[in-house]
Chain A
Amino acid sequence: MPSNWGYVFAAYGIAAAALLTYWRHLARRTRALAARRAAKPRAA
């Protein structure tokens, strides 16, 4: 039986990359919205 570790690491590597990318997207979006909200002049 071949070890097939290459397939295993490929699957976990792609999953880790996708989850990290999504997490970074959420973090960036939150920061951008918070900055836009802070820069917005408040109504008197």
Chain B
Amino acid sequence: MTRALGWLAVLGLVVGLAAGFGYAPREAVQGNVQRIMYLHVPAVLTAYLAFGLVLTGSIGFLATRRPGWDRLAAAAGEIGVLFTGLTIVSGSIWGKPTWGTWWTWDARLTSTAVLFCVYVGYLLLRSLIEDPDARARYAAVVGILGAVNIPIVHFSVKWWRALHQPSTILGPSPSPIDPAIGLALFVNWVAFTLLFAYFLARRMEIARLEEQT
């Protein structure tokens, strides 16, 4: 099952690359550098999904004390950090030719950097506590508190005057994106979600094996 999910993710990524580099047109204003968005946007949406699962697993563990919820939170947290890192790096590379700088202390960029640091801290906390029950309890509290930052990241472009453009995918009004570009984004988002599901299954299996050995 996990192996099939992995191959499905590979297929999705290949189709996503074809959609982003072959099917989608060159963007009229930004040119080819806009193609980084087929990586940047799915990466941040996957990170939101991952940290949403950290929240779910944390609440589930505190409510039931079942270790499966803690395994879900730990696995999702690690993968969420990976995808947040990819979001920051790809956004920085896009920013240099578009904004003229690798980094600026804009509200969206800063809140995303804080999100990254919070969940790196979450993973550090997990690695520092040896007692499994205490680790799961403390991590669950951080997992719940850390999720507060997700809406701050998402709505930062509305709440503060930011250099980063407002949301075009999860915004309140219909998306102004060209249908071909929208489709390429959608295909890549599906591919990243499949990859996330594959990584999550593998990482949870490792957590289960660690508990048994």
Please list the residues of chain A having a beta carbon within 8 angstroms of any beta carbon in chain B: 1-5, 7-8, 10-12, 14-15, 18-19, 22-23, 26-27, 29-30, 33-34, 36-37, 40
Q: Across the interface, do B94 and A11 meet the contact criterion of CB distance under 8 Å?
A: yes
In the complex, what's the smallest C-beta–C-beta distance from A20 to chain B, in angstroms? 11
Most chain B beta carbons < 10 A, residue from A8, A12, A30, A34: A8
Report whether B209 and A19 are in contact in the complex, using a CB–CB cutoff of 8 Å.
Answer: no
Q: Would A7 and B93 be within 8 Å (CB), given that A18-B86, A22-B199, A37-B212 are in contact?
A: yes
A39 to chain B, nearest CB (A): 10
Chain B, residue nearest A29 (CB): B206
Q: Is the CB of A30 within 8 A of B32?
A: no
- A2–B97 CB distance below 8 A: yes
Residues of A within 8 A of B209 (CB): 30, 33-34, 37
Contacts of B104-124 to chain A: CB distance below 8 A = none
Distance between B117 CB and nearest chain A CB, rounded to angstroms: 18
Q: Does B85 contact A (CB under 8 A)?
A: yes
Within 8 A of A (CB), among B150-164: none
B205 touches A30 (CB 8 A): yes
Distance (Å) between the CB of A31 and the closest chain B CB? 10
**Does B126 reach chain A (CB closer than 8 Å)?**
no
**Does A15 lie within 8 Å of B90, measured CB to CB?**
yes
Interface on B for A, CB 8 Å cutoff? Answer: 31-33, 35-36, 39-40, 43, 79, 82, 85-86, 89-90, 93-94, 96-97, 195, 199, 202-203, 205-206, 209-210, 212-213
How far is B93's CA from A5's CA once the two chains are assembled, in angstroms? 11
Q: Are A30 and B202 in contact (CB under 8 A)?
A: yes
The answer to whether A26 touches B202 (Cβ under 8 A) is yes
Secondary structure dominating the interface of A: helix
Q: What CA separation (Å) do A11 and B37 show in the bound complex?
A: 10
* A26 pairs with B199, CB closer than 8 A: yes
Measured between alpha carbons, how far is A23 from B85 in the docked complex, in Å? 16
Residues of B within 8 A of A2 (CB): 31, 97
- Kindly state the separation between the CA atoms of A8 and B33 in the bound complex, as whole angstroms: 6
- B93 touches which one: A1, A11, A26 (CB < 8 A)? A11
Per a CB cutoff under 8 Å, which of A4, A7, A26 touches B203?
Answer: A26
Cβ contact of A36, chosen from B79, B89, B213, cutoff 8 A: B213
8 closest A-B pairs by CB: A33-B209, A4-B33, A11-B93, A1-B31, A26-B202, A11-B90, A11-B36, A4-B97
A6, closest chain B residue (CB): B97
